[in-house]
Each structure stands twice: as C-alpha cells, then as structure tokens.
C-alpha cells in the first residue's frame, strides 16, 4: 500500500479510473500487502528491489495510499505523490545489503562512496529533486560495475527502475527492471524468489499501462501461479524449516499481485474476473493482517466498487458500509474517501437524501484534511447528485420532500 491507488469515489455509474501506473503505485505502497521484503538467494544480504514498507501507510489503494513498499511508519502519510517518491528508498537504511567482508581498503572505500551516493539520491527524492537523484544513482551504478559488486548493482538498478517508473518513463523502467532481474538470476537466485516475482509484477504492470495486454496477462499469471506453487511447497515443510515472516511475506505478495491484476481487469471492464481477484486478495489480507487493517478496508472498498459497477448495489453497499464502520473504529486516515464511496453507491441506488448527507460529511472531512483530490471527486459526486435531483426520469417521487398545504 496513497496509491492514488486509490479508493475510487463513485459519483456516477461509469467507472473513473486513474491511470494503471498511478493506481498500481498506490496499491503496492498502501498496503501491508506490499510489506514484502526482497531477499536475494543469500539470505544474509537483503536486496530491496522495491523498498517495502508495511504500507499500511498510504494504504495501498485507499485514497491516500502511495505505492511502494508499505511501512507502519508511513501509514499516517496522506499524500500519495509524496509517498510514491519516498517509498522508493524506504528500506534504504539497511545499508548492510552489500555484505561486509575483509576486502582491501580500496574496495571498502568504493563501497562507502556508493552508499553515500545512494543516501544523497534518497534525500533528493524526498526533496522532489528527481533529476539530482537520477544523477546520483547513475554515479552509484558506475562505481558498482567498476567494483564488480553484484549486490550493489542489483540494488541500484532496482532503485533506478522504481524512480523511472514513478516518473512515467516506462520503457526505461522496463529495461532497468530486466537488467536487475538478469543479475539476480545469473547469481543463482531461483525464479520463484520473491525479489524476482516482485520485479515480474512491475513489468506486468508496465505492459498493462502500455496496452500490451498479452504480455500483461502472461506476466500476472506467471506471478500468481509461481506464488501459489511456492505456498503449496511451503505447507509441506516443517514449521521450523522456514521463518513465519517469510511465509507471511509470500502470502502477502500473492495478495498484492491479485490486487494489482484486479485493478488491471477493472480498467479493462473485465469486472467478474476483477471481482474474483479482489475477493481472494481481501481474504488473504484479512487472514494475515486482520479485518481492521487499513489495507483490508481498502480492498473491501475496491470490491464494493466492482460490485457496484456490475449493478450489485445492495451487496456493494454492504461491503462499503462495513468498511466505513471499521474505519471509524480504527481511526482510518482516509475515512472521508470511504464515506464518499458509500455516498456514490447510495446515489446509484436512488437514495438521494442519504447520499447527499454522506457527501457533505465526506467533503467537510476532506477539506479539513487538506485532501484536494478527494475534495474534487466528492464535488463531482455532488454535481451528479444535483443532476439526478433535477431529472424527472431519475428523481424519486419523494424528492424533493412534499410539503403539505395547510388545511383551511
């Protein structure tokens, strides 16, 4: 899990989708579904191809979710774009990824220079100085190649790819992800390693954005089938043979992949397929994170969106109503988005008075939180509401309320 991967407000029956790349960015970040640490074959050295926070943070996909890896620290952030940039280097502090050894002083000096460059790149991204960040990363990759430090090469390529992805440079991001994956595989990392699957997921998302649908479908299918097979193998292992964290990470990565494919399928108007993916992702998130977890609420909301688009308004209302109740209890930072979506579903059901009330409540909360994007979407919903109020074909007989004439 923010990434906005956003929970969609539903002012009209037609779907309003953000570009897949933005949605996906929000999605990975916003959720603790994105709480997946990338591990290289040598488990002593963690290669974070995508800084993974427990993104509950900008709840991946919940209105303020930012895409990246998700972290509990980020769960309070509300700006998706900011998170999209911050998330890139979130797990960057684990500078031990290079693996310390008794190498000669010159090699150690080069390694230190690479680390400093990566730290500067992180700072530049936090300050929205993306060109400067790109420059530092290019210097780092040059030194990594000169010193033949494969782990540094993989890590830096991954950061460069993520930066290009966020900037919308999809062709460049594709090349960089492939380069990082090539170094991983050539170093003996298995194809079903979570790091490889994460990069494959990003490539599938890029292909989806580029409308290369055959490649996108193949990529999503590869990720899901690989993770499903891996989970089945893990079930056969003794409990003490694999850390619980690793088992959980694999399941969460499967949930994230299903969620990403669901958003892609929704954008393609393959709504029944999207519904199935959302339901599976939601169940995984419930099992691993709990029903009140921010990402669980985001998935409930997204499932409600797909149900509403199919005309299953009552079922959709049940899902989003539950999300609103849980969000209120848990103090969900994007409660106004959940309320706005609920108002949209009520609008589609013709419950105009209740829809208007919730829209106004959501608008006040969004304005108080300084969430300009949500304010704009809620205002669109209010405009659609006004149209229905004034349209004799859609206006219920009870709208506006009848005023009884006083008896004489």
Rg (CA), the chain: 23
Largest CA distance in the chain: 104
392 pLDDT more than 90: no
Residues found in the chain: 408
228 pLDDT more than 90: yes
Distance CA 59, CA 153 (A): 30
Highest mean pLDDT among 98-102, 164-168, 313-317, 389-393: 313-317
Average pLDDT of the residues of the chain: 77
Q: Which residue has the higher pLDDT, 29 or 380?
A: 380
- Cα dihedral 184, 66, 56, 53, rounded to 10, equals 30
> Among candidates 198, 105, 181, 114, which has minimal Cα distance to 152?
114
% of the chain exceeding 70 in pLDDT? 70
Residue 141 makes CB contacts below 8 A (sequence gap 6+) with 153, 156, 157, 160
HEC assignment per residue over the chain? CCCCCCCCCCCCCCCCCCCHHHHHHHHHHCCHHHCCCCECCCCCCECCCCCCCCCCCCCCCCCCCCCCCCCHHHHHCCCHHHHHHHHHHHHHHCHHHHCCCCCCHHHHHHHHHHHHHHHHHHHHHHCCCHHHHHHHHHHHHHHHHHCCCHHHHHHHHHHHHHHHHHCCCHHHHHHHHHHHHHHHHHCCCCCCCHHHHHHHHHHHHHHHHCCCHHHHHHHHHHHHHHHHHHHHHHHHCCHHHCCHHHHHHHHHHHHHHHHHHHHHHHHCCCHHHHHHHHHHHHHHHHHHHCCCCHHHHHHHHHHHHHHHHCCCHHHHHHHHHHHHHHHHHHCCCCHHHHHHHHHHHHHHHCCHHHHHHHHHHHHHHHHHHCCHHHHHHHHHHHHHHHHHHHCCCCCCCCCCCCCCCCCC
Per-residue pLDDT tens over the stretch 61-74 = 433 333 333 334 34
State residue 390's pLDDT score: 82
342 pLDDT more than 60: yes
Per-residue pLDDT tens over the stretch 130-156 = 999 999 999 999 999 999 998 899 999
332 pLDDT more than 90: no
160 pLDDT more than 50: yes
Per-residue pLDDT tens over the stretch 18-46 = 333 334 333 443 333 333 333 333 333 33
Residue 330's pLDDT band, with cuts at 50, 70 and 90, is: confident
State residue 62's pLDDT score: 39
Structure token digits, residue 9: 């407000």
344 pLDDT more than 50: yes
State residue 47's pLDDT score: 33
């Amino acid at each position: 899990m923010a990434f906005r991967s956003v929970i969609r407000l539903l002012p009209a029956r037609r779907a309003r989708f953000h570009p897949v790349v933005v949605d996906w960015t929000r999605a990975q970040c916003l959720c603790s579904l994105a709480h997946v640490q990338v591990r290289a074959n040598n488990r002593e050295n963690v290669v974070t191809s995508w800084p993974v926070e427990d993104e509950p943070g900008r709840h991946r996909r919940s209105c303020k979710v930012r895409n990246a890896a998700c972290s509990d620290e980020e769960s309070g952030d509300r700006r998706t774009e900011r998170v999209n940039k911050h998330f890139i280097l979130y797990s960057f502090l684990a500078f031990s990824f290079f693996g310390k050894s008794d190498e000669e002083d010159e090699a150690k000096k080069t390694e230190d220079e690479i680390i400093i460059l990566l730290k500067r790149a992180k700072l530049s991204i936090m300050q929205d100085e993306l060109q400067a960040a790109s420059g530092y990363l290019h210097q780092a990759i040059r030194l990594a190649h000169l010193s033949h430090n494969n782990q540094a090469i993989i890590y830096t390529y991954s950061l460069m790819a993520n930066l290009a992805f966020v900037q919308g440079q999809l062709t460049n991001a594709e090349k960089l992800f492939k380069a990082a994956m090539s170094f991983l595989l050539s170093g003996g990392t298995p194809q079903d390693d979570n790091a490889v699957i994460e990069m494959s997921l990003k490539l599938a998302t890029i292909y989806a954005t580029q409308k290369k649908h055959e490649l996108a479908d193949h990529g999503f299918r590869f990720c899901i089938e690989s993770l499903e097979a891996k989970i089945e193998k893990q079930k056969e292992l003794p409990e003490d043979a694999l850390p619980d964290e690793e088992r959980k990470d694999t399941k969460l990565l499967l949930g994230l992949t299903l969620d990403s494919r669901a958003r892609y399928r929704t954008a393609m108007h393959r709504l029944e397929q999207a519904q199935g993916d959302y339901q599976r992702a939601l169940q995984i998130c419930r099992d691993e994170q709990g029903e009140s977890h921010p990402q669980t609420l985001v998935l409930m909301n997204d499932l409600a969106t797909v149900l509403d688009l199919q005309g299953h308004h009552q079922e959709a209302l049940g899902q989003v109503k539950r999300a609103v109740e849980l969000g209120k209890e848990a103090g969900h930072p994007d409660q106004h988005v959940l309320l706005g979506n609920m108002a949209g579903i009520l609008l589609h059901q013709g419950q105009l008075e209740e829809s208007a009330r919730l829209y106004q409540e959501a608008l006040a909360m969004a304005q108080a939180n300084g969430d300009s994007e949500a304010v704009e979407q809620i205002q669109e919903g209010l405009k659609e509401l006004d149209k229905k109020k004034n349209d004799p074909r859609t206006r219920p007989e009870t709208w506006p309320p009848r005023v009884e004439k006083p008896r004489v």
